[in-house]
């Protein structure tokens, strides 16, 4: 079983709900291009900050509608050697248009050096600061879910509520085990009500 949880020891929620995700995105879209696209990428892919800083123009498929991420959690192959795992996450067309316009993705892909350069050459600490600032401006309470991790968990909850199969969500989130992804099927509160409502529709 996975040790990951959607609540801390005190029962505090560790994920952003639908309203908080919408508020976060609304504020992010008013920020300068670099911060806006950074926040939108975390929101639309569910990636970790450490994965975000590795994204280059070469990993953005404008025609295929995906962003490819390198899973940074350590994996082993059959012989116990480290294994590199990539995953392609589908993203909305309007987000890709914004990303291309803000960072010249299509143009950068024509030059090998530019194609491999990080889109956001920032530290994880700086990403955390940017995200936290947007969350504060969006009115999110000072609670454990007000963090990039809360945004990642919110991505998982949202996908589950929208009916994305767990095996597909597991691939998008880069989980090594389906049991880790299964925590999103245990969503509570409003999210659980939305899931339950689909049974009667």
CA distances to 12, 41, 116, 148 from 45, in Å: 24, 6, 19, 12
51 lies in some domain: yes
Q: Tally the domains of the chain.
A: 1
In a domain, 38, yes or no: yes
Q: Does some domain include residue 63?
A: yes
The pLDDT tens digits along the chain (201 residues) read: 446 788 889 988 899 999 999 999 999 999 999 999 999 999 999 999 999 999 999 999 999 999 999 987 656 666 666 778 899 999 999 999 999 999 999 999 999 999 999 999 999 999 999 999 999 999 999 999 999 999 999 999 999 888 898 899 999 998 888 888 888 877 655 566 666 676 666
Q: Which domain range does residue 46 map to?
A: 18-200
Phi (first) and psi of residue 158, to 5 degrees: -60, -45
Report whether 44 contacts 97 (CB < 8 A). Answer: no
pTM of the model: 0.88
What span, in angstroms and rounded, lies between the C-alpha atoms of 60 and 96? 8
- With respect to residue 6, please indicate whether it lies within any of the assigned structural domains: no
**Is the residue at 9 inside a domain?**
no
Looking at the domain assignment, is residue 4 inside a domain? no
Q: CATH code at 68?
A: 1.10.443.10
Note whether residue 1 is domain-resident: no
């Amino acid at each position: 079983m996975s040790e990951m949880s959607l609540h801390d020891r005190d029962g505090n929620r560790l994920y952003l709900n639908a309203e908080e995700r919408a508020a976060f995105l609304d504020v992010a879209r008013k920020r300068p291009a670099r911060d806006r696209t950074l926040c939108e990428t975390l929101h639309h892919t569910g990636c970790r900050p450490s994965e975000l800083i590795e994204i280059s123009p070469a990993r953005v498929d404008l025609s295929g509608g995906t962003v490819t991420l390198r899973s940074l959690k350590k994996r082993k192959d059959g012989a116990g050697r480290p294994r590199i795992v990539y995953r392609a996450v589908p993203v909305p067309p309007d987000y890709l248009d914004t990303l291309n316009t803000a960072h010249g993705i299509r143009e950068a892909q024509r030059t090998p050096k530019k194609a491999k350069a990080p889109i956001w050459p920032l530290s994880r600490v700086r990403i955390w600061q940017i995200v936290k600032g947007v969350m504060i401006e969006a009115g999110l309470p000072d609670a454990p879910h007000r963090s990039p991790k809360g945004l990642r968990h919110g991505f998982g909850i949202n996908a589950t509520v929208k009916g994305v199969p767990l095996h597909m969500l597991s691939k998008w989130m880069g989980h090594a085990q389906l049991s880790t992804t299964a925590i999103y099927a245990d969503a509570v509160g409003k999210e659980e009500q939305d899931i339950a409502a689909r049974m009667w529709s």
